[in-house]
């Protein structure tokens, strides 16, 4: 059975990545592509790499007839997303890729994203989209909230350690490096090639990056107590890929064992042999996440390194994985593409 799919926000990178992945999906057909700013254009003109596909033209959201749509991916900017989703048919399944439905507490949302939430009932039913840890809820959900790409990376490294009470909860540092596509196709001076190429810098230093709200929510829930991590993102001169170097206090062997056990049957999470470390170039363009664990020379300390592609496992691939669950499809359909290296 073929599912009819709509994608809102199709002129951004995560929208295009959804199209790329769905193109190899056996049971999905894209029926509508929404993109207000570029409505009226052919997708091949906005994203020439999708030229070989038979796709509908971009239209405004208002022009889309949602009546025959089984599932809608919403790849709009946050704040816009909630206003749009609030008014979509309540019978249609939705996977949102924005930040709008990730935070369960409206006060926390208001604190980090600055403003009242416009669709609180939708938020109330939304399921947090970190597939491996919310699989059953996602299967039954109408609205799934995709996680932040950095938030996903850090959680893959840390959730089993917190759940297993294997690390000191007061001493967690996530030093993360991300490619530039995470910032989207936005016209900002600091995203120009000439500004970024051949360099690196930290941003959001000191605990100001919004993905911290997800870490706080999730880690505190697992631990049953407030957990606050340190988190410093850096911008890499690369288009895709996140690598998170996580410093924890705990026994390295136990940490490795817990990660290996947790992800033993997961199709997309690979825990490397103890002492090996992953690289963003080995997951580029794919839905895989590689995790490595090393012990430090100081006993009782470990370094966990996790790598994934921000556009795939960090957002559009995760969204498709969740959609597969929601539609009763094989969870891996359209997602087993090998990474592109070199």
Q: Which residues are known catalytic residues?
A: 149
Asked if 210 interacts with its own copies (CB under 8 A), we say: no
> Tokens representing 49?
């790499």
Asked if 47 interacts with its own copies (CB under 8 A), we say: yes
# binding residues, its own copies (CB under 8 A): 87
Asked if 303 interacts with its own copies (CB under 8 A), we say: yes
How distant, in Å, are the alpha carbons of 12, 92, 316 from that of 335?
20, 23, 10
Candidate list 143, 284, 291, 331; residue touching its own copies; CB under 8 A: 284
The set of residues, in sequence order, having a beta carbon less than 8 Å from that of 219 and lying 6+ positions away, is: 155, 158, 159, 162, 169, 172, 227, 229
Residue among 89 and 207 whose Cβ is closer to its own copies? 207
The CA-CA-CA angle for residues 246, 248, 249, to 5°, reads: 170
- 127-128 sheet: strands from edge to edge: 58-59, 28-34, 3-8, 71-74, 93-96, 143-145, 127-128
Binding mask 131-170 for its own copies (x = CB under 8 A): ----------------------------------------
> Widest CA span of the chain, in angstroms?
61
Asked if 257 interacts with its own copies (CB under 8 A), we say: no
| Rounded least distance, CB 284 to its own copies, Å | 7
Q: H or E element: which one contains 177?
A: strand 173-178
What's the number of CA atoms in the CB half-sphere (13 Å) around residue 176? 37
Candidate list 288, 318, 319, 320; residue touching its own copies; CB under 8 A: 288
Candidate list 138, 243, 255, 323; residue touching its own copies; CB under 8 A: 243
Candidate list 94, 141, 260, 305; residue touching its own copies; CB under 8 A: 305
Q: For residue 338, give the 3-state DSSP assignment.
A: coil
Candidate list 155, 262, 286, 318; residue touching its own copies; CB under 8 A: 286
Residues 80, 11: Cα–Cα separation, whole Å = 15
Asked if 185 interacts with its own copies (CB under 8 A), we say: yes
Asked if 197 interacts with its own copies (CB under 8 A), we say: yes
Residue where the block lists tokens 């809820």: 137
Residue among 114 and 140 whose Cβ is closer to its own copies? 114
Residue among 4 and 239 whose Cβ is closer to its own copies? 239
| Rounded least distance, CB 259 to its own copies, Å | 15
Candidate list 234, 251, 327, 330; residue touching its own copies; CB under 8 A: 234
Which of 229, 228, 234, 318 lies closest to 269 in space, CA to CA? 318
């Amino acid at each position: 059975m073929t599912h009819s799919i709509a994608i809102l926000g199709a002129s951004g990178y995560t929208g295009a990545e959804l199209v790329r992945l769905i193109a190899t999906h056996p049971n999905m057909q894209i029926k509508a592509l929404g993109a207000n700013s570029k409505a009226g254009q052919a997708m091949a003109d906005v994203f020439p790499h999708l030229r070989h596909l038979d796709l509908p033209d971009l239209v405004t959201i208002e022009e889309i007839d949602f009546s025959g749509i089984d599932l809608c991916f919403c790849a709009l900017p946050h704040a816009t997303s909630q206003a749009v989703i609030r008014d979509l048919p309540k019978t249609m399944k939705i996977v949102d890729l924005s930040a709008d439905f990730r935070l369960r507490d409206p006060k926390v949302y208001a604190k980090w994203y600055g403003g009242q939430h416009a669709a609180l009932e939708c938020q109330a039913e939304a399921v947090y989209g970190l597939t491996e840890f919310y699989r059953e809820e996602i299967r039954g959900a109408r609205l799934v909230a995709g996680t932040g790409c950095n938030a996903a990376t850090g959680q893959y490294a840390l959730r089993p350690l917190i759940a297993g009470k294997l690390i000191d909860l007061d001493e967690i540092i996530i030093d993360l490096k991300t490619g530039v596509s995470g910032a989207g196709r936005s016209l900002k001076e600091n995203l120009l090639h000439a500004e970024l190429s051949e360099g690196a810098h930290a941003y959001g230093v000191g605990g100001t990056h919004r993905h911290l709200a997800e870490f706080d929510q999730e880690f505190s829930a697992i631990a049953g107590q407030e957990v606050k991590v340190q988190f410093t993102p850096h911008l890499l001169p690369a288009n895709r890929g996140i690598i998170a170097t996580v410093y924890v206090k705990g026994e390295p062997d136990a940490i490795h064992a817990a990660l290996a056990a947790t992800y033993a049957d997961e199709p997309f999470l690979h825990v490397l042999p103890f002492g090996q470390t992953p690289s963003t170039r080995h997951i580029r363009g794919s839905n895989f996440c590689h995790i490595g664990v090393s012990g430090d020379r100081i006993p009782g300390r470990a370094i966990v390194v996790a790598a994934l592609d921000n556009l795939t496992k960090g957002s559009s691939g995760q969204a498709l994985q969740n959609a597969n669950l929601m539609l009763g499809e094989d969870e891996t359909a359209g997602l087993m593409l090998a990474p592109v290296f070199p």
